[in-house]
Amino acid sequence: MNLGHATDAAFVDSTAAQRHADVTTTCPICQGAFVRNGRRKYCSHACRSAAYRRRHDTGRSELSTVSTGLRPPVTIYECDGCGLRTTEEQRCETCGFSMHQVGIGGSCPHCDEPVTFSEFLGLEVPA
């Protein structure tokens, strides 16, 4: 039995660990310096998660950058007193009355006025 060899190996391992204890490494995600402990590659769990997302979400990021040019639908409001239409306010700016909801729509591509989808498509039945 060679006990001296086993203790020599343990001594070499512990001195190697002490020698590299103060060595800092740069995080590949945030470029911050940190003391590497074991097999750690990243400075924090947040950077480790970000690296995982970068590796696995490549297909989704391409799809999300494609723009269709369409605006989301909004609620169109109309004043009973003056007939003013808006998409943002529910109180008329000119006469101060409360506006009522006309329908879902957006801005007209020709005149940029608020218009409902049914009016734009010609489906509105005149009253």
CB atoms within 10 A of CB 84: 17
- pLDDT tens digit sequence for 85-106: 888 788 888 888 888 888 888 8
pLDDT in the model for residue 75? 87
pLDDT in the model for residue 1? 47
- pLDDT tens digit sequence for 13-68: 555 555 555 678 899 999 999 888 888 899 999 999 999 988 887 665 444 445 55
pLDDT in the model for residue 22? 67
Under DSSP, the state recorded for 116 is E
pLDDT in the model for residue 45? 92
Residues with Cβ within 8 Å of 70's Cβ and at least 6 positions away in sequence, in order, are: none
H/E stretch holding 50 reads: helix 45-56
